[in-house]
Amino acid sequence: MKILRTPDERFEKLPGYDFAPHYTEVPDSEGGRLRIHFVDEGPRDADPILCLHGQPTWSYLYRKMIPVFTAAGHRVLAPDFAGFGRSDKPSQREDYSYARHVDWMSAWLESLGLEKLTLVCQDWGGLIGLRLVARHPDRFARVVAANTGLPDGTGIPEEAGPAMRKLYDSLPVVSVDELFEKFQAKDGPPGFFYWRKFCAETPELRISEIVAGAGGRGIPGELAAAYDAPFPDETYKAGARQFPSLVPIFPDDPAIPDNRKAWEILRSFEKPFLTAFSDGDPVTRGAEKRFQNEVPGARGQAHTTIRGAGHFLQEDKGEELASVVCDFIERTR
C-alpha cells in the first residue's frame, strides 16, 4: 500500500499540545510497516491510562485530560490510529478495514508490553478499543466508555439489509449544517446514514468544521488549524472518509461476527466498567444502557453524565471527564 506521512512542521506550536512524539512500527498486513504515533506522559512505572480517539480527530483531542492524569500520578498513552494525527496514512480507502485497525492497534499494544491498563474510549476509540479488551482481557484493569458503542447488528433482521442499503443509496449528500440537523431529527432516515454518505462523498471533508458542528458551536481558528493539521490536503483523508463506512450498520456487514464474539467476552468481563456519556450527543445517545445492562463489571458503578458536552466531550469538558476517570481509578484500585 502507498503510505503518506504528514510533515512534522504541521504539528509545531499547536495550542495546548507540547507533548513529545513517540513512534513504533507495526506490520501493515501487506508485507510493509506502518508508523504509529503516540503520546506517552507521566511516570513509566505507573499503571497506564490508554486514551483512544475517534473519527475524524486524533490524540490532540485528549490534550486537556493528559495534564490532569499526570498530575494525579498516572502514566497516560494516547496513540493516533493509522490514517490520523501523526501516524502514517494509507492513501486509499480500500486500505482501511475494521479488522485491520484492530490488528494494527493490537500489534502496537503488544509491542509496548502494556498491562494493567485503564481504557478511556470515545467514538471509534470504543469500536477498536473494546475489541482490544476482548482480545487481550488480561491486559486491562478497567474501562471507561464515553460516547461510544460496539455495534453488532442486534435488533436488525437480516431480511432488512437490502431495503436499508437501498435507502442509504438514495440519500443526498447534505451540507455540514444539515448533517447535524439530521442527527437531531425525530423521523426520517437515521442521521448516521447521512453522516456515512457525507464523509464518503462530499468533495471536501473539512475536519475542523465537523468538530465544531458536533459541539454545536464554532471553535477558535487556532484550534481549527490543530484539528486540520494532520491533513495537508484531501489525499491524506482516506481514513477519515472511510471510517464511517466501516461501522457495521447493515446486518450482513463483515465486522458483525467479530463484534458479536467481542460482546460474548464483554458479557463475562467482571473488571470495573464505567460509562461517562455526555448529555448532548445525538450520535451515541442511549448506547450506555447496553453496557450497563450487559457488562458484569458495570453493575453497581457510579455511571455519570457529563453535562453541557457534545459528541467530542473531551474537547467540551475534558478536565471534568479526566477527573471522573481519576476518581474511578481510585475507587476501584
Residues 314/64, Cβ–Cβ less than 8 Å: yes
CA distance 29 to 215: 36
List the one residue out of 186, 191, 300 whose CA is nearest residue 249. Answer: 191
Q: Encode burial over 218-243: b for 16+ CB neighbours within 10 A, e otherwise.
A: ebeeebbebbbbbbeeeebbbbbbbb
pLDDT tens for 156-171 read: 999 999 999 999 999 9
Residues 244/192, Cβ–Cβ less than 8 Å: yes
Amino acid 220: pLDDT: 87
Amino acid 317: pLDDT: 97
Is the per-residue pLDDT at 193 higher than 90? yes
pLDDT tens for 96-133 read: 999 999 999 999 999 999 999 999 999 999 999 999 99
Q: Compute the average pLDDT of residues 18-38.
A: 97
Is the per-residue pLDDT at 218 higher than 80? no
Beta strands in 42-116 (DSSP E): 48-52, 75-79, 89-90
pLDDT tens for 36-91 read: 999 999 999 999 999 999 999 999 999 999 999 999 999 999 999 999 999 999 99
| 303 assigned to active site | no
Name the pLDDT band for 180 (thresholds 50, 70, 90): confident
List the one residue out of 171, 219, 289, 174 whose CA is nearest residue 57. Answer: 219
Name the pLDDT band for 314 (thresholds 50, 70, 90): very high
- Beta strands at 75-79 and 273-278: parallel, antiparallel or unpaired: unpaired
Three-state SS at 257: helix
What is the average pLDDT score of the chain? 96
Q: Compute the average pLDDT of residues 263-279.
A: 98
Name the pLDDT band for 177 (thresholds 50, 70, 90): confident
Q: In order of start, what are the domains of the chain with their CATH numbers?
A: 3-154+254-331 (3.40.50.1820), 159-246 (no CATH)
HSE-up (13 A, CA, CB side) for residue 159: 0
| 74 assigned to active site | no
For the entire predicted model, the pTM comes to 0.97
| 123 assigned to active site | yes
Is the per-residue pLDDT at 23 higher than 70? yes
Amino acid 133: pLDDT: 98
The active-site residue, picked from 37, 53, 101, 311, is 311
Amino acid 216: pLDDT: 65
Residues 77/39, Cβ–Cβ less than 8 Å: yes
**Does the CA dihedral 277-283-288-289 come out positive or negative?**
positive
The active-site residue, picked from 80, 88, 95, 123, is 123
Residue spans of alpha helices (H) in the chain: 66-71, 98-112, 124-135, 161-170, 176-184, 191-201, 207-214, 221-228, 238-246, 256-266, 288-294, 313-331
Provide long-range contacts, Cβ within 8 A and 24+ apart, for 200-209. 200/241, 200/242, 200/244, 200/245, 201/173, 202/173, 204/234, 205/56, 205/234, 205/237, 205/240, 205/241, 206/176, 207/56, 207/57, 207/231, 207/237, 207/240, 209/176
pLDDT tens for 225-261 read: 999 999 999 999 999 999 999 999 999 999 999 999 9
